[in-house]
Chains A and B, each alone.
Chain A
C-alpha cells in the first residue's frame, strides 16, 4: 500500500512534467524500453541475431580499458556489439544509483568500488552470475570481493594491488641500497629517514592522505585483524606509531600539508619530491604516460613488493601480503532476456587470458595471472624490467580492502574519521580508535 502512495505521487508528478515538456525536449529514449533491435519479432534464437549490449564506463578519454574490452569481444563475437555509456569517474556511484532507481542503468554494470555492491544487491539490481564465475579459470583472482552469502554477483576483470615504487636515481644519489624484497615496515621507515637526511631536499617517502595507505596494510597484514567484526581495531596502532614518527622526523610530508594543499601523489613521486611511495599498481601506467609526455621528470624507477608486517613473509621465496580491490562486471537484473547470453559471455571473456593480454598491453593489471599476461604487461615501453619489479607485480597475496559485509561503509567512514584525527595529530591514537570503535558498535548494534 505504501508503495502505491509513492508511485502514485511519482506518476502524478511525471504526468505534469510531461505536460510541461510538450513544447520540446530531447532525444532521450525512455528508460527501460527495449532498444529498437529487439522490439520486433519473437525470435528466440539468441546467438544468430546481432545483439547490442550496453556497459557503464568512466572518463573514456583517459580510461581506454572499456573500449579495449568491447573491441576485443566484438572481434571474437561479431554478432555482439558492446556500447559504452560514460559516467563521471568521481560521482560514478551516485549517478549509477540514480539510473538504477529510474530503471535506466545499462545492461552490464561495472563495479568500480566493491563497497557499493552490497547496496545494489540488496536493491535487487544485480543478477546472480555464479555460473559465469565458477566457470572462470583458476588463475583469476578477486571474485571473492563480489561474493555475498555464497552467491557471485560480478566477475573481476582487473585486480590492482599495492606495491612499493622507488626512485632508483635518488637511491643512488644518497648511496643507499634500493629495496630487495626483504623489507618489513621497520626497514622501510629506517631507510626513509636515512634517505631524507642524505638527500637534503626530497623526502625519503611519500604517504598519500587516504586512509587505505595505512589501514589497508594494517588490516591485510596483521594476523587476526578483523575489519568487519567491529570489535577491535587496536591492530592499527603500531602502523600509526611508525608513520607518525616518520612524519614528525620530517621523513615524509606531513598529513596536514598533504590534505590542505591537496597534494597529488603523481606530482610528489613524478616530480621527485619523494624517493619511495606505496601506491596501487594502476600508477605504473600513469607514470609511464607522464614520463613520456614530460609531465613527470625522467628518472629510473623500480617496483618492489610492499614492506611486510614481519619477516615471515619477506624475501622473494615467499609470497608478500598486500591489499587491493578488483574491478568487475555485473549484469543488470532488468536485462532483456535476449541479451543475457551475450552479457554472460562478455563477463567470462573479460576475465579470460585473451582479454588479460589486451588489457596488459595498455597497462591495466588484469585479474588473470598467466605468463602471457605478464609478458604483455612488461612489454610496455619504458617499464622497469628487473626481476624484482616482475616479482612484485606478479607474486602477491592480495587481500580485499573492502570485504563484503553489510556494515562495511559505516565501518570505513568511522575509521576514516580516526585516520584524519590521528594523522593531523589532533587526537591521540588510542583515543581516536576508541571513538571509532564506539561509533561502529552503535551502528552495528
Chain B
C-alpha cells in the first residue's frame, strides 16, 4: 500500500483502532473474570470461598495459603510428576501422531480410509464406559500407581493423527514430488519436507496435548494412588473432603492458580511458532 493511501485512512482507522481495543479489552475482562475470582479465592479462608452474594475481594488476605501449599502438601512432587507426564506424553503424541498422519495422508493403500475413520470414531466412545476393562489390563500388567499408566493412556490417541493429517493436506504434493525426484525416500520426505513445514501444526498440537495432559483428571485419579505419584489436578482434590469433612477450598484454589501459571507461560512463549508463518515461506518455492 502506498504511503499516501495509508495517510488518507489514518483518521478513520484510528477510530476503528480505538473501538477495536475497547472491544478487545472488554472481551479480555470477560474472559479473565473466573480467573480473577480464582486468585481472589486463593487468598480467602476456607469458609469464605463460596458465599452469597459472591465476594470479589477477600475480607482478610490469607497470604499464608501460598506458603502452606508447599509445606502442607506434596505440591512439589505433584508439579514434577505433572511436568514429566506432560512432556513425555506430548513428545510421544507428536512423534507417533505426525508419523502416522503421513501414512494416512500421503501413502495410498487398501483399507486406509476405513482404518482412519475407525481411529476417529473411537474418540466418540466416552472413557467412563471402558475404563474398567482398561484398568484390569493395566493392573494385570502391574502398571497401576505408576506414571507409566498415564503415559500409555494418553500418548497414542487419534487426536494427533487426525490433526496432523489435516495439516499435511495443505502442503502441496509437488513438494514431496520434487523430494522424490531428488532421491528422498518416504521417510526422508517426512523428515526433510513435511516436518519442517508443519511447525505451526506441531506447535499447536504440542500445546493442546500439553494442556490436556496437564489438566487431565479422571485418568490420573483412577490410576495414581500414592500421594507422591499424584499429578496436580489429582493432588488438589486432597483439599476437598467428602461432604462430612471440612474442605480446604482456599488452598485448593491456591493450587489451581499455581497450576495455570506454567501453561500460561508456555503459551506466551510458544506463540510465535504457530503465529509466524514458517510454512508460508517454505511454500513459495
Q: Do A and B truly interact?
A: yes
Residues of chain A touching chain B, judged by Cβ–Cβ distance below 8 Å, are 10-11, 13-14, 17-18, 20-21, 24-26, 28, 30-31, 58-59, 61-63, 85-92, 94-95, 97-98, 101-104, 112, 160, 210, 253, 257-258, 261-264, 266-267, 270-271, 280, 282-283, 286, 289-290, 294-296
* Other-chain contact of B135, A63, A102, A263, A296 (Cβ < 8 Å): A102
B221:A91 contact, CB within 8 angstroms: yes
Residues of chain B contacted by A112 (CB below 8 angstroms): 242
- Given the known interface contacts A17-B141, A25-B143, the answer about A98 and B132 at a Cβ–Cβ threshold of 8 Å is yes
* Other-chain contact of B143, A28, A94, A97, A271 (Cβ < 8 Å): A28
Residues of chain A contacted by B49 (CB below 8 angstroms): 267
Chain A residue nearest to B226 in the complex (CB): A86
Residue of A11, A30, A210 with most chain B CB atoms under a 10 A cut-off: A30
- Quote the shortest CB–CB distance from A268 to chain B (angstroms): 9
Cα-based distance from A353 to B164 in the complex (angstroms): 66
Residues of chain B contacted by A210 (CB below 8 angstroms): 243
Chain B residue nearest to A261 in the complex (CB): B52
Residues of chain B touching chain A, judged by Cβ–Cβ distance below 8 Å, are 45-52, 54, 131-133, 135-148, 152, 221-222, 225, 227, 234, 237-238, 240-247, 249
Residues of chain A contacted by B243 (CB below 8 angstroms): 210
A290:B144 contact, CB within 8 angstroms: no
B238:A61 contact, CB within 8 angstroms: yes
A90:B242 contact, CB within 8 angstroms: yes
- Given the known interface contacts A20-B152, A62-B245, A101-B136, the answer about A28 and B145 at a Cβ–Cβ threshold of 8 Å is yes
Chain B residue nearest to A13 in the complex (CB): B137
**Sample of 11 more A-B contacts, CB < 8 Å, known A59-B242, A87-B225, A261-B51:** A17-B143, A18-B142, A21-B142, A28-B145, A94-B222, A101-B135, A264-B249, A266-B47, A267-B47, A267-B49, A271-B47
- Quote the shortest CB–CB distance from B70 to chain A (angstroms): 16
Cα-based distance from A58 to B225 in the complex (angstroms): 11
Cα-based distance from A92 to B221 in the complex (angstroms): 11
* Other-chain contact of B148, A24, A85, A95, A294 (Cβ < 8 Å): A24
Residues of chain B contacted by A58 (CB below 8 angstroms): 242
A14:B137 contact, CB within 8 angstroms: yes
Chain A residue nearest to B242 in the complex (CB): A89
- Quote the shortest CB–CB distance from A229 to chain B (angstroms): 27
Chain B residue nearest to A58 in the complex (CB): B242
Chain A residue nearest to B234 in the complex (CB): A88
Residue of A30, A262, A267 with most chain B CB atoms under a 10 A cut-off: A267
B238:A263 contact, CB within 8 angstroms: no
B52:A10 contact, CB within 8 angstroms: no
- Quote the shortest CB–CB distance from B41 to chain A (angstroms): 11
- Given the known interface contacts A17-B152, A261-B52, A267-B51, the answer about A59 and B238 at a Cβ–Cβ threshold of 8 Å is yes
A102:B140 contact, CB within 8 angstroms: yes
A264:B140 contact, CB within 8 angstroms: no
Q: List 25 A-B contacts (CB under 8 A).
A: A13-B137, A14-B140, A17-B140, A18-B141, A21-B148, A24-B148, A25-B146, A28-B143, A28-B144, A31-B140, A59-B245, A85-B225, A86-B227, A88-B221, A94-B222, A95-B221, A95-B222, A95-B225, A97-B132, A102-B135, A102-B139, A253-B52, A264-B249, A290-B47, A295-B246
- Given the known interface contacts A257-B52, A267-B51, A282-B244, the answer about A10 and B140 at a Cβ–Cβ threshold of 8 Å is yes
B52:A26 contact, CB within 8 angstroms: no
Cα-based distance from A9 to B48 in the complex (angstroms): 51
Residues of chain B contacted by A31 (CB below 8 angstroms): 139-140, 144
* Other-chain contact of A264, B50, B133, B144, B225 (Cβ < 8 Å): B50
- Given the known interface contacts A91-B221, A257-B52, the answer about A10 and B47 at a Cβ–Cβ threshold of 8 Å is no
Residues of chain A contacted by B52 (CB below 8 angstroms): 253, 257-258, 261, 263
- Quote the shortest CB–CB distance from B141 to chain A (angstroms): 4
- Given the known interface contacts A28-B144, A28-B145, A271-B48, the answer about A98 and B131 at a Cβ–Cβ threshold of 8 Å is yes
Cα-based distance from A396 to B244 in the complex (angstroms): 20
A102:B136 contact, CB within 8 angstroms: yes
Cα-based distance from A296 to B147 in the complex (angstroms): 39
A263:B50 contact, CB within 8 angstroms: yes
Chain A residue nearest to B230 in the complex (CB): A88
- Given the known interface contacts A89-B242, A91-B221, the answer about A295 and B148 at a Cβ–Cβ threshold of 8 Å is no
- Given the known interface contacts A62-B241, A90-B240, A98-B131, the answer about A25 and B47 at a Cβ–Cβ threshold of 8 Å is no
- Quote the shortest CB–CB distance from B249 to chain A (angstroms): 8
- Quote the shortest CB–CB distance from B135 to chain A (angstroms): 5
Chain B residue nearest to A267 in the complex (CB): B47
A17:B138 contact, CB within 8 angstroms: yes
Residues of chain B contacted by A263 (CB below 8 angstroms): 50-52
Cα-based distance from A101 to B134 in the complex (angstroms): 11
* Other-chain contact of B133, A10, A92, A295 (Cβ < 8 Å): A10
A286:B245 contact, CB within 8 angstroms: yes
Cα-based distance from A270 to B247 in the complex (angstroms): 13
Chain A residue nearest to B222 in the complex (CB): A98
- Quote the shortest CB–CB distance from A110 to chain B (angstroms): 12
B225:A21 contact, CB within 8 angstroms: no
Residues of chain B contacted by A104 (CB below 8 angstroms): 139, 144
Closest A-B pairs by Cβ, 7 of them: A26-B146, A102-B139, A14-B140, A89-B242, A17-B141, A267-B47, A282-B244
Chain A residue nearest to B248 in the complex (CB): A62
* Other-chain contact of A290, B132, B138, B246 (Cβ < 8 Å): B246
Cα-based distance from A86 to B226 in the complex (angstroms): 8
Chain B residue nearest to A102 in the complex (CB): B139
B240:A264 contact, CB within 8 angstroms: no
Cα-based distance from A210 to B227 in the complex (angstroms): 30
Residues of chain A contacted by B140 (CB below 8 angstroms): 10-11, 14, 17, 31, 102
